[in-house]
Structure 1
Amino acid sequence: MSDSSSKPPATGGPGNWSFTRWSTIGQLEALEVHHPLFQATLFLQGAHLTHFAPMDERNWLWLSELARFQPGRAIRGGIPVCWPWFGDPLRNPPEIRKRIASSSAHGFARTALWRLEDVRESAHEVEVSLSLSANDDFQEHWDGHALALITFSFSIRGCQIALTTTNLSKAPLAFSQALHTYLPTDDIQRTRVLGLGNSQYIDTLKDWDYVSQEGPVYFEGEVDRIYETGEALTVVTPSGKRKLTSVGSDSTVVWNPGPGKAQRLSDFPDSAWQKMLCVETANAASDYRVLNEGQSHTLGVFIGRA
């Protein structure tokens, strides 16, 4: 169901958009990009990308068949934006934890309504920018004042995401974050992640102990790790490869719930753990960032062919 007149475009009249249109999916508003070279679906709630694919290809992102598109409910799959904290508040450094007034994991950005700033189109690319002003409206969750600006650039080569945080308060601002990328696979047990060998990681399933990674990352049950590296990674599945190249990141989260936790997750089929994995571009654990007044930091990832 699409209603191109339900919202005014960011700039100019509707005729200025050749490939992008407003759509209502479930109870949420989204932008759908139908370019001759690629397609994408981006929700205003959470600045949440759920679909990207070059034309005639399957979705490069994994989206749960049980995902629900409701106000205030996080979408299971795609690329949730975890901001201005990542993971359990109690597992964040004291500088971040002291600002958090919520027990919820992964911050409030993924269920907040973002504002459309701009849509730029060309014969080869579509760029969409959204913003979230984290001001007094969020004081019940967080003590801070910052601006988050996220830009999605879609092309035949792949999808680039850049999340820029600017500290609008006078005091230093500490925060953690992640682009929580869900990727599909035909078989998790025949899937591996390359590029993390010879790095250390925090194993959150083993009392947050540090472990050394040797060789590729394989999946044989639940995996929840924070790697201390921001190197380019290659995800190898039975049907192909994806390369993830990050900027502004020195930590990578690799996650799969395994069969046990899958049964406890919301909007997640019991067997879906066999068909997905998360490789998250992050500023997590000791890689959290601190901004002085007026300073900015950009966290980004490019997802392309390997």
Structure 2
Amino acid sequence: MSESSHRPSRALSPGQWSFTRWATIGHLEALVIQHPLFRATLFLQGAHLTHFAPSGESEWLWLSDTARFEPGRAIRGGIPVCWPWFGDPQRNPPEVRKRIHSDKAHGFARTALWKLEDVRENAHEIEISLSLDANEDFAEEWRGRALALLTFHFSVRGCQLALTTTNLSEEPLAFSQALHTYLPTPDITRTRVLGLGYSQYIDTLDNWEYKPQEGPVYFDGETDRIYESGEPLKIVTPGGSRRLTPVGSDSTVVWNPGPEKARALSDFPDSAWKTMLCVETANAAGDYRVLNNGQSHTLGVLIGRK
């Protein structure tokens, strides 16, 4: 996490929190943050951040108008956590794929119930940590034992996520993952992503062919690409711009469903593809990671101002 001279103080019980409150949204438990400088909403299911914005500003994250908040159902929008595998299990490298006993995309973390570990607050920032023990409870879906710790850091400057995976099994653990960030835009056709120029990407819509990227990424229909790059990015929209600074990542996924796929997606209005995009900080495709017993790896992203 980022260094700060205003280290949040540790809260021993919920009664001591000044800006963070429990809430039930739909059928799910959430932490709702109303800080003088910013606001955020974080669900225990999936460790899923759905809202963040400094005070007086519009939302920095995109959330579907038809998102549903139900046990066992992934929330459409915000920042879903894809872990301990990303995407279609069959499209993962063999070392990752051999551990997966499910045909579901994006792993089980985004619908699992995470445990609240810590809330730290002060007048300038808030830090919240959630954990998921991937133990025998998930044996029907995945073979492994690991601990995921996801720490959120909120301030007026932006929000930072740090997902640390620790291998608790005796054998090496191969996994893929992503912080599946949904971002808003007034017009996807006038939106571009800077920072991926001159890198290669896998075009999953064209038989997973490798292609070169020249200049900014523009959108003119369905887009689903895995870039071989972990460089800082700038997302430019008619409504403004954001910077995404990754940590522990050498792959970036850029996604927009386009009009046809949008009509087939659950909890997604037909025209919503025009007002969103996903730029995902990842360890995907050839960028999967392997940990020996006791080793850890942190995947993170800082979403900040231009």
TM-score, normalized by length of structure 2?
0.96
Residue of structure 1 in register with 2:21 after alignment = 21
User: Quick one: distance in 2 between partners of 1:16 and 1:269?
Assistant: 40
4+ residue runs of structure 1 moved beyond 2 angstroms? 10-15
Code of the aligned partner of 2:32: E
Residue of structure 1 in register with 2:266 after alignment = 266
Pairs within 5 Å for 1:1-306: 11-306=11-306
User: Quick one: distance in 1 between partners of 2:128 and 2:265?
Assistant: 31
Residue of structure 1 in register with 2:7 after alignment = none
Code of the aligned partner of 2:43: F
Contact kept, 8 Å, 2:11 with 2:120, in 1: the verdict is no
User: Quick one: distance in 1 between partners of 2:104 and 2:36?
Assistant: 40
Measured against aligned partners, the alpha-carbon deviations of 1:79-115 in whole angstroms (never above 9, x if no partner) come to 0000000000000001111100000000000000000
The secondary structure found in structure 2 opposite 1:109 is coil
Shift of 1:11: 4.9
Shift of 1:16: 1.5
Measured against aligned partners, the alpha-carbon deviations of 1:185-223 in whole angstroms (never above 9, x if no partner) come to 000000000000000000000000000000000000000
The secondary structure found in structure 1 opposite 2:15 is helix
Shift of 1:13: 3.2
User: Percent identity among equivalent residues?
Assistant: 78
Code of the aligned partner of 1:126: I
User: Quick one: distance in 2 between partners of 1:266 and 1:246?
Assistant: 29
User: Quick one: distance in 2 between partners of 1:152 and 1:225?
Assistant: 27
Q: RMSD of aligned C-alpha atoms?
A: 0.8
Contact kept, 8 Å, 2:11 with 2:121, in 1: the verdict is no
Code of the aligned partner of 1:177: Q
Contact kept, 8 Å, 2:198 with 2:215, in 1: the verdict is yes
Contact kept, 8 Å, 2:11 with 2:17, in 1: the verdict is no
User: Quick one: distance in 2 between partners of 1:181 and 1:95?
Assistant: 26
Contact kept, 8 Å, 2:20 with 2:34, in 1: the verdict is yes
The secondary structure found in structure 2 opposite 1:110 is coil
Contact kept, 8 Å, 2:224 with 2:256, in 1: the verdict is yes
The secondary structure found in structure 2 opposite 1:74 is coil
Measured against aligned partners, the alpha-carbon deviations of 1:202-248 in whole angstroms (never above 9, x if no partner) come to 00000000000000000000000000000000000001000000000
Measured against aligned partners, the alpha-carbon deviations of 1:150-184 in whole angstroms (never above 9, x if no partner) come to 00000000000000000000000000000000000
Shift of 1:58: 1.0
User: Quick one: distance in 1 between partners of 2:181 and 2:116?
Assistant: 21
User: Quick one: distance in 2 between partners of 1:11 and 1:70?
Assistant: 29
Shift of 1:48: 0.1
The secondary structure found in structure 2 opposite 1:263 is helix
User: Quick one: distance in 2 between partners of 1:256 and 1:100?
Assistant: 26
User: Quick one: distance in 2 between partners of 1:277 and 1:78?
Assistant: 11
Code of the aligned partner of 1:236: V
Name stretches of at least 5 consecutive residues in structure 1 with no aligned partner. 1-9
User: Quick one: distance in 1 between partners of 2:63 and 2:195?
Assistant: 25
The secondary structure found in structure 2 opposite 1:260 is helix
User: Quick one: distance in 2 between partners of 1:263 and 1:16?
Assistant: 46
Measured against aligned partners, the alpha-carbon deviations of 1:5-62 in whole angstroms (never above 9, x if no partner) come to xxxxx95233320000000000000000100000000000000000000001111000
Name stretches of at least 5 consecutive residues in structure 2 with no aligned partner. 1-9
The secondary structure found in structure 2 opposite 1:274 is helix
Code of the aligned partner of 2:178: A
